[in-house]
Structure 1
């Protein structure tokens, strides 16, 4: 639709959506994007409707409304007004993959990410192809298919070139490092995360800087690497999040990292109240985070000699992991539980 024919109501709703997004008010941004999409639909502008509906789905993802995001993304891919443009379709599949991963539908997440990667040849749009492979690797890793995830990582490393934006290269190193940690390739995990850290800048994107340091600390702690570099990651993430803000899950993950660090540092008694505060947040966070917190709390209770409480928390951890589709983590929780029985 030509610029002069844009409805003032549409322009206002679109502007509100982007302003809310800039301010990390994702629920309000999704609502305004939906308003803009409805105005565009009524005006017969299906391109604007599609763009605003995609923006709505992006904001639902960032608001951790995973099921609503997945449903909207599916409609954009398969609905009556789905786009035939391969790049837009691939981006929508990636959005669906992330939403399904967040909802614990890991097999469906992997399928959507694979569909995105198959839509584009490597030389069509390297950045979108890389993002699709990242989403696929994350879904495979979360579902415990680590051999497949590592094979995808090696392929992804070959795709990265100087044509790709530094921030995206950093995210590639980040995801490869994550899988290396999960595969017990700890030294490689550390090396890839160091490469990622070198590409990220708090001055350029403080939000990404916060998320990377938070996630890197979590991976290092999971590998029981509780050194000074890990503590620096925790502190950087906490400071950056104080500035940019974060979702409930972001804040709980920061507390989980701090509790994990405290536990590994040997101050088990101090770690327990931190972990207990996370485990009660059943209505405010996903099953994966709850599983990790309950697993750590069970280990901490066992270390304090409270074996009955340890069993209870380890069973809860296994249940949460199963709900998240993280069957390999559920099995690890059950292994700890067997020791306590």
Structure 2
């Protein structure tokens, strides 16, 4: 049991960490959580140590320090507290899956998420199980294992009910829509993203609203859906991010989406200007995302009539996708590079 003289310091460190997180200063939040975890460890409080280390890892994930997050998440999944608590182990594995996906280690991410699926069986822990399935679907979808991802989507869809929290249901609709887009089920993708939009509320969680609109716009554009609804998604994401703030990765992704919109609108020159700025920071993005930057650059160069630059960008895209283990995407880029196909026609 924690002594009284230690409790105020621990409580202050936890409060400070959560305050920094609320302000989106994730680096300081991670430092504060680490301090609280150290205090709990010194006091023999294993539960406090686990909770604050988990908070530290969450903030490292949001700060883009995926490697450090993955190491912490692994240690949490193997801790004695997780051994005795399926919920704790599942939460740690989900966090590990997300961080591995951020590193571009998609197969490892899928394996971690798959380990979290089905660990909890209590109906009260349904949220944890849904998050595990979402993490698995995201990793499978991004690595190109679309048939497996879609099967998982069907299972996840069966878990959605009227009793489910709106925000949780919205996240489920969101990830199902993502995979539908990837499977060329465009109408189903639009339908599920519309369902997600109906459940999310900017007044309840503006940060989530920003992330959803950003992701929905990216999926719509990848399916060549560049209608007014897509533009509204982009504008909502940009406005919400301006208000709540965002990481460097968030800002770069928004610029990538805006560049994609600009290219589809017929202004290859303006799109290239945005893409050149983004590619200068490509090493700060997950490799599969960087691959998408260079693939879109190839399309923009081709549209501008510079085939040599297009080929150079395709080569870079192939290397990034290979690095991420996104083999299907790498194969698509490699096929374009090896042929006379115009990258502007890339599906």
What residue is the counterpart of 1:34 in the other structure? 34
2-side partners of 1:170 and 1:80: how far apart?
33
Q: Where does 1:58-69 land on structure 2 (aligned, <5 Å)?
A: 58-69=58-69
Q: Which range is displaced more, 91-100 or 116-125?
A: 116-125
Distance in structure 2 (CA, Å) of the matches to 1:121 and 1:11? 32
Task: Give the equivalent residue in structure 2 for 1:87.
Answer: 87
How many residue pairs match? The answer is: 341
| Mean CA deviation greater in 217-226 or 157-166 | 157-166
Cα distance in 2 between the residues matched to 1:255 and 1:83 = 43
How far apart, CA to CA, are the structure 2 residues paired with 1:105 and 1:287?
9
Q: TM-score, normalised by structure 1?
A: 0.96
* Aligned counterparts of 1:21 and 1:167: Cα–Cα separation in 2: 20
Find the aligned partners of 2:291 and 2:124 in 1 and give their Cα distance.
Answer: 40
Kindly indicate whether residue 271 of structure 2 is the aligned counterpart of residue 271 of structure 1.
yes
Q: What is the aligned partner in structure 2 of residue 140 from structure 1? A: 140
Cα offset for 1:82? 4.2
Partner of 1:126: 126
- Alignment map for 1:211-250 (pairs within 5 Å): 211-250=211-250
Deviation larger for 172-181 or 275-284:
275-284
Matched, 1:302 2:302: yes
8 Å CA contact 1:34–1:52 kept in 2: the answer is yes
Matches within 5 A, 1:9-48: 9-48=9-48
2:149 match:
149
1:79 & 1:27 partners in 2: Cα distance? 24
For structure 1, the residue ranges without an aligned partner over 5 or more in a row are none
For residues 58 and 228 of structure 1, the distance between their equivalents in structure 2, rounded to whole angstroms, comes to 35
Q: TM-score, normalised by structure 2?
A: 0.95
1:8 alignment partner in structure 2: 8
CA contact (8 A) 1:310 1:340 kept: no
Deviations 1:131-180 (A, max 9, x none): 11101100110111100000000010001112221001001000000000
Residue pair 2:73, 2:92 contacting (<8 A) in 1 also: yes
Residue deviations 1:29-56 (CA, integer Å, cap 9, x gap)? 1111111111111111111111111111
Deviation string for 1:282-333 (max 9, x for gaps)? 3432222221111111111112221111110110011111112211111111
Unaligned regions of 5+ residues in structure 2, if any?
342-347
Segment of structure 1 superposing worse, 42-51 or 276-285: 276-285
Q: Which residue of 2 aligns with 1:52?
A: 52
Residue 129 (structure 2) pairs with residue 106 (structure 1): no
CA deviation after TM superposition for structure 1 residue 336, in Å: 2.2
SS in 2 for 1:125: helix
Deviations 1:244-298 (A, max 9, x none): 1111111011101110001111111211111111111134322222211111111
1:317 and 1:193, CA in 2 relative to 1: closer, same or farther beyond 3 A? same
Shift of 1:3: 8.6
* Partners of 2:144 and 2:49 in 1: CA distance: 38
CA distance in 1, matches of 2:120, 2:278: 41
RMSD over aligned CA atoms reads 1.6
Contact 1:14 1:32 in 2 (8 A): yes
Report the secondary structure of 2:39's partner residue.
helix
Residues 193-202 or 302-311, more deviating = 302-311
State the partner residue of 1:185: 185
Counterpart CA distance in 2 for 1:198 and 1:11 is 38
